[in-house]
Amino acid sequence: MNKSVEFSAPHLRSSENELLISLDFFFAALPVIIWSVIAYGARPLGITVLSMLCASLFELVFACLLRSRVQIYTAALLGMIVSFFMPATISYWFVPPAALIAVASRRFTKGVLNPISASLLPLFLFGSEMTAFTKVYHKLDLGVFSYAGNIDEMAVTLPVKMLSPETTPAASAFDVFLGNSPESLGGLSAALLLIGCLYLIIRGVISWQIPVGFIGGAAVIWYVFMFDGVNYDYAIYHLCSGGIVLAAVFGATEYSSAPVVPFGRLVHGVGCGVLAMVFRRFGLYTEGVLLAMLIMSLFSRVIDLVTAERYFGYRTKKLGERFGCFFPKLK
C-alpha cells in the first residue's frame, strides 16, 4: 500500500556514539596513566601508546576481514586497558602479540573469552616477564626494549605476595592504596582507580553493578570464610592493592565480555570477585584475577538469559522461557 518498503523508524537518534564512550573511559584512566609516569618514568607511557596503536591497527585488519564496521576507538581503549595489567618492565616485544590476541578475541569470539585475560594469560608462560616488578619512583628508560636480565638489582617482590602469617609486607595498606608500592602499570593506585570508577558511573558508561559486585564479593568471601586464622588485615590489603580494583573497574566491565542485563552484571561482578580472591588465596597473585575474569566471561551469555527480567505484566519469567532460548523445541 502506501507504506514504505523497509520500516525505518525511529527517525531520531541520540548523540551517543562510540567515540564519546571511549573518551569517557580515557578521561577516567588519565589519572592512572599520569601516576604511572610519575612512579615509573616514561616507559609506561611507551607501553600504553604502543599497545593502543597496535590494537587499532589490528582492529582495522580484522574489521576489513569480517566486513563489519571498524570500531577503532573501542580497540584503542582495549589496548590501553591491556597495557594496564602489565608490569612496567615488560619488554616491548610482548605488547603487539597481546594487542593482537585481545582484539582477535573480542572480534572473533564476540566476547565469550575476556579479551584482556585471553591476551595476558599466555604471556605468563614466557619466563618471569609478567611478574617482574621494580621499585616505585625508580625511573625506567623509555628506549630499552627488554629488561630481561637487567632488573635483578631493581627487582622487588610484590607486597601482596609477602602476606603470610610469618612475614609482614614492606609497605602498609595505606601506601598500597595510594600507589606508593610496586604494582602493574595501571594498578598502582587504587585511590585513583576508584575516582575514575566514580566518574564512569556518573557518566553512565559503566553500571555500578560490576565494580560494586566485584569488590563487595571479594570482601565478603574473605570475611565470611575467615581463611584459616590469618589476621583480618589480609582482606583489606588485598582489596587495597591495585590488581583487584583495576580488574573491577576496567577489566571485568569490558563491554564485550560482560553481561548486558543489570542483575546479570551483578552476578558477573560477584562471581569475578569471589573467584579472584579464591585464586589469590591459593597463590596466584597476578594471574588470579585474570583467570577469574576469563572464567566468568565464558558464562556471560548464559547469565544474561537466565537473569533477564520478567516480562512486563508477568509475575515471573517461567523456567521454560528462561531456558527456551537454548532448547527451542521445548516451548
Residues near another protein (CB under 8 A)? 1-14, 16-18, 20-21, 67-69, 71, 74, 111, 205, 207, 255-256, 258, 260-262, 265, 304-305, 308-314, 321, 324-325, 328-329, 331
Total number of residues shown for the chain: 331
Closest C-alpha to 116, from 129, 134, 99, 132: 99
For the CB of residue 105, give the shortest distance to another protein in the complex, in Å.
14
321 exposed, middle or buried (CB, 10 Å; 0-12, 13-18, 19+)?
middle
Nearer CB in complex with another protein: 81/163: 81
The nearer residue to another protein, 281 or 317, going by C-beta atoms, is 317
In the complex, least distance from residue 315 CB atom to another protein, rounded to whole angstroms: 9
Q: Which amino acid is at 23?
A: L
**Shortest Å, Cβ 4 to another protein:** 4
CA–CA separation, 98 and 104 (whole Å): 10
- Least Cβ distance, residue 24 to another protein (angstroms): 11
With vertex at residue 114, the alpha carbon angle to CA 109 and CA 120, rounded to the nearest 5 degrees, is 115
CB of 117 to another protein, least distance (A): 16
Tell me the closest approach of the beta carbon of residue 178 to another protein, in angstroms.
32
Nearer to another protein, 283 or 331 (CB): 331
Minimum CB distance to another protein smaller for 18 or for 141: 18
Q: Are 159 and 181 in contact (CB under 8 A)?
A: yes
In the bound state with another protein, the residue whose beta carbon lies nearer, of 83 and 207, is 207
Minimum distance from CB of 67 to another protein (Å)? Answer: 8
Cα 104 to Cα 111: distance, rounded to the nearest angstrom = 10
| Partners of 156 in the β-ladder | 133
Q: Which is nearer to another protein, 9 or 125 (CB)?
A: 9
Nearer to another protein, 190 or 212 (CB): 212
Element (H, E) at 156: strand 155-156
CB atoms near residue 93 (< 10 Å): 12
Cα–chain-centroid distance for residue 40?
A: 21
Q: Which of 226, 221, 273 is nearest to 248 (CA)?
A: 273
